[in-house]
Structure formats: structure tokens, C-alpha cells
Amino acid sequence: MNKNYLSRLHTLATVLLGMLLLSGCQIESEPKSELEQIKERGVLRVGTLNNQLSYYIGPDGPAGLDYELAREFANELGVQLEMKPAYRISSLYPALRNGEIDIIAAGLSQSPERLKAFRPGPAYYYVSQQVVYKKGQWRPRNLEQLLELQSELEQSNDNEPVIQIVGDSHFNQTLAAIQQEHPQFIYKVDPNADVNDLLKKVSEGDLQFTVADSVEVSLSQRIYPEIALAFELTEDQPTSWFLRRSQDESLYALLIEFFGYIKQSGHLASLEEKYIGHVDSFDYVDTRAFIRALDSKLPKWSPLFKKYSDEFDWRLVAALAYQESHWNPLAKSPTGVRGMMMLTLPTAKSVGVTDRLDPEQSVKGGVEYLRRMVARIPDSIEEHEKIWFALASYNVGYGHVMDARRLTKRQGGNPDAWSDVKDRLPLLRQKKYYSQTRYGYARGDEARNYVENIRRYYQSIIGHVEKQTLAEDNDNVDDLTVIQVPDQVASQAQPLSAAESTVDQLEAD
């Protein structure tokens, strides 16, 4: 073999080696995908709103619809969850743009403005934009009526606009479009307020109108019962999580798959029932009385509820006690129940209560009775829903609740889902249904209303406590809370097929 050939071969080998090394460097230097960065970091960073729907700190730690969904998504990725809560959404937009967070999960609607700036995930519920006013004041039934009287209303308001909205909202685009069509339409944007601030102003009569999402209005009515719907500005709009817009599909693809799975499994419906399943019903007179009681009576009795609530949220125990007696320790009924928790004589004896009119004994005994009810609820029902079945049993009896589950199964519903069973409870009043049940006639409609009332009171107490806390806090969103999902929580969080109904056991109940 001649020397020239060997020299050329050596040169070629050197070039090929260089190319391979260069190629390796290029591959190594390619930027990692969003998903790879999250897994390498070991943390999913989620921006959210600190409110009674998306994220709040309860007695047992973090809670909220978006928090629970984010926790489960982080678990699917095999990483920790880091929540970045804010009181105003404007604080989260730059954090997402700058890469300080990976996702905004705050129940935000898919407005054109947001769709232009960010990539939406799948819709998980729907809201409409509503004009809100204070009960007892003039109510416009539609936009035309508001436009007709706008000038007159402004004159009586020191020539100031009578409708205000928050500064970073998608409502601005809706009202701007109205203004373009009706140049005489005037509204004011408050850059320093959040929706809760303006709803409170409307409730107190300091502001005539504002705009809010329908779910937020329904939840806020538990705290500000004076606010009411004047008219709807939009049709229902999808809400979703939001990601940065980029060519990187890695995180987005998994998010699509995640929401598809939890929808199909029914787990999403279960979580939505937990947090917003009670919002459709609202009793103005009852809520006003309850809000007054939060200030006048709850401070006296809350230490007692906290003392004996044990594994239950003390605010839930307080809500149960209000439903039973309106926090009156001497309450009596013609049917023989009495005391703060309105115990029957046999029930009181079974839980060791010797004096039903002693509030401490009554609360302690009522919690023990509730604990026993929860323990009887089948394990096929998700932990967070067992309490609703137990409360219905507390009211109408365990056997009748099991009858309602059997009826739900026969009608093709899910007997392990409170949202399905509560709709069958009223059927226990009708002979064609209760004649086929094991325990017969029952006032199932009262049991359903009983549970839904407690859920509403519970939400109001949460909102009331949160409102007091917010008054002491500021908008600093730089404080990150890293939440490690424990193994046992992680396994419960997964919407597994094993969590599907095991209602074959019903016939044995």
C-alpha cells in the first residue's frame, strides 16, 4: 500500500472523526424540550389564582380545583408540584412569558386576547360574562336598557361611568367591542382592583355595575349575597389552562392526553362536582341571614368546632351545625331532635351524649355520629365524595341512600358519583320507584337539599375566612410553595380504572 494512499486515508479518517465529534457537540448542544427541562428540574411550576375555586390553603393543606388537577398532572410527569399563587392574573402573564412558570392553571376563559398570547389546553368547564348589580337597585334586563339610561345614571354618579371592570381582564375586549358599536357606551377600567374588590363594591352600593364570570358570581354570592345577575354579556365560553406559544409540543401533547383521560374516566366530573357542583342554587334570604351569623355567632362557636372536628374540616362541621340548628345550642323540634347538632335521643345515647342541650357534648357527639356514617360508605366511592353520602345518610338514613345508589345503577348512572345519586334521591318519594326499593318511601329531596345547603354554607365559611386573610396579605407572588406529592396522595390522585364503580357490592349492602 503506497504512502500517498495511507496519507489520504489518514486525512479522511481525521476529517470523519472531526465531523463525528462536531456532530456530537451539536446534538449535545441542542436545547432540551420543555418536558425534558421539567423532568430534569424535577418540578412542575404552576401559576394560579388564590381564591376559593382554583387554589387556597385549607386546614389539611392546599386545596382547589386547579390545584388538585395540577397535582395529578405533576404526578403523571413524576415530578414535584410548585404552586405560584397570585391574587391578580396580571401577575402571572409575565411569569409565563419569562419562563418562571410552566403553566397558568386558574380557570381562565379562552378569550381572543389570551388565545393570541398563549396556547390553551383543553376546555374543562364553561363560563359566561355577566353584568352584576346590587339587589334592590335598578336592574337593566339587557344592554339596550343600560344604554338608554346610561347618561341619566352617570349624572347621578357625579358624571362618572357606572360600570367598572378590572384592568387585566378579558372583559375589556368585550366592552371595547360594545363601545365600538355604540360610541356613547362608557366604562371605567380599574388597574388596581381584582374582581372580588369590584363585586364587594357592588354589594356595598359603592359601584352600580361590574362584569364577572358566571362561576365567580355564583361563588361570590355566598359571601356577598346582595350581588345578582343583571344580564349576560356573552354566551358560554370555554375555560382552560395556558402554556407559552412555541414550536415545542412536548408538554402540550401530554396535557392534551391528561385531560382526555380524566374526562373519559369521569374523574374530572367528580372534581368539578366537588368544587362547583353546588353553585347553581342560591337562596338570597337564607344567605343573608347566614352571612350575618358568620359575624355574630361563628366567632363564639368556632373554637368548639375546631376542638372536636378531628379528621374533618372544622368549617364543614360548622356548616353542618348551622344547617341543623342555625348555631342555636338550645334548638328543639317537634319531632324530638334537639341541640346544636339536633340529635335524636337514640343517636345521642349511641355516641355517649347525656345532655343534648350541652353544646360541647352535642358537637362532640354529632362529629362522632358523622364519623361512623363515613366509615359505612363503600370504598368504591372516592374519599372526597364519601362525606356527601355520609351527610345524606345523617339526614335520611343509610339504607335510603343505598336505595338511591341501586336506583342510580338501574338507570344507567354512576352509583359512586354524588352528582348522579343526588338526582335520584327525590325519586324515593314516588311510589313507582320506592316500591321497588329495599327500604321504601323517603323524603329524598330533603336529603339532597340538606347536603347541598351544607356545601353552600361550607363554601361561604371558606370564603369568609379567606376574605379576612386576604385583608392582611399583599400581592407578592415571589414566594413559592413547593408541594411534594406524597406517595399515598399520588396513588389516590391517579384516575385509575380501579376507581370505577364496584356496585356489584350494592346488592350485598
pLDDT tens-digit map of 283-307: 666 777 888 888 889 999 999 999 9
Please state whether beta strands 56-58 and 61-63 pair in parallel, antiparallel, or not at all (unpaired).
antiparallel
% of the chain residues with pLDDT over 90: 46
Non-local (6+) Cβ contacts of 181 within 8 A are none
Task: Using DSSP, state whether 386 is helix, strand or coil.
Answer: helix
Q: What angle do CA 428, 387, 60 make, to 5 degrees?
A: 165
8 Å CB contact between 83 and 481: yes
Non-local (6+) Cβ contacts of 70 within 8 A are 44, 46, 48, 81, 83, 103, 105
Poorest-pLDDT segment among 18-22, 80-84, 432-436:
18-22
> pLDDT tens digit string along 472-483?
554 444 444 444
Predicted local distance difference test score (pLDDT) of residue 497: 27
Predicted local distance difference test score (pLDDT) of residue 321: 95
The amino acid occupying position 218 is S
The backbone torsions φ and ψ at residue 246, rounded to the nearest 5 degrees and listed phi first, read -160, 175
Dihedral sign for Cα 308, 311, 313, 319, please.
Answer: negative
Q: What is the mean pLDDT of residues 307-314?
A: 92
Grid cell, residue 365, equals 357527639
Task: Using DSSP, state whether 279 is helix, strand or coil.
Answer: coil
| Beta strands in 121-226, from DSSP E residues, in sequence order | 125-127, 129-134, 163-166, 188-190, 209-213
Predicted local distance difference test score (pLDDT) of residue 182: 92
Predicted local distance difference test score (pLDDT) of residue 390: 94
Using the predicted structure, report yes or no on whether residue 184 has a pLDDT greater than 50: yes
Predicted local distance difference test score (pLDDT) of residue 491: 42
DSSP per position, 290-355:
HHHHHHHTHHHHHHHHHHH-TTS-HHHHHHHHHHHHSS-TT-B-TTS-BTTTTB-HHHHHHTT-S-
Predicted local distance difference test score (pLDDT) of residue 472: 52
How far from chain centre, in Å, is Cα 457? 15
Task: Using DSSP, state whether 81 is helix, strand or coil.
Answer: strand
Nearest-angstrom CA–CA distance, 327 and 308: 15
Task: Using DSSP, state whether 209 is helix, strand or coil.
Answer: strand
Predicted local distance difference test score (pLDDT) of residue 278: 63
Single out the catalytic residue among 72, 82, 273, 324: 324
Predicted local distance difference test score (pLDDT) of residue 210: 95
The residue among 354, 350, 346 whose CA lies nearest residue 371 is: 350
The residue among 8, 106, 120, 123 whose CA lies nearest residue 65 is: 106
Confidence of residue 499 (pLDDT cuts 50, 70, 90): very low
Using the predicted structure, report yes or no on whether residue 152 has a pLDDT greater than 80: yes
324 is catalytic: yes
Residue with cell 381582564: 169
The amino acid occupying position 481 is T
8 Å CB contact between 398 and 373: yes
Within 10 A of 419 (CB to CB), how many other CB atoms are there?
Answer: 17
8 Å CB contact between 490 and 369: no
Predicted local distance difference test score (pLDDT) of residue 484: 46
Sheet containing strand 227-232, edge to edge, reads 188-190, 163-166, 209-213, 129-134, 227-232
DSSP 8-state symbol, 142: S
Q: How many helices (H) and strands (E) does the chain have?
A: 22, 14
Nearest-angstrom CA–CA distance, 100 and 97: 8
Predicted local distance difference test score (pLDDT) of residue 7: 58
DSSP per position, 460-503:
HHHHHHHHHHHTT--------EEE---HHHHHHHS--GGGS--G
8 Å CB contact between 32 and 453: no
Predicted local distance difference test score (pLDDT) of residue 173: 86
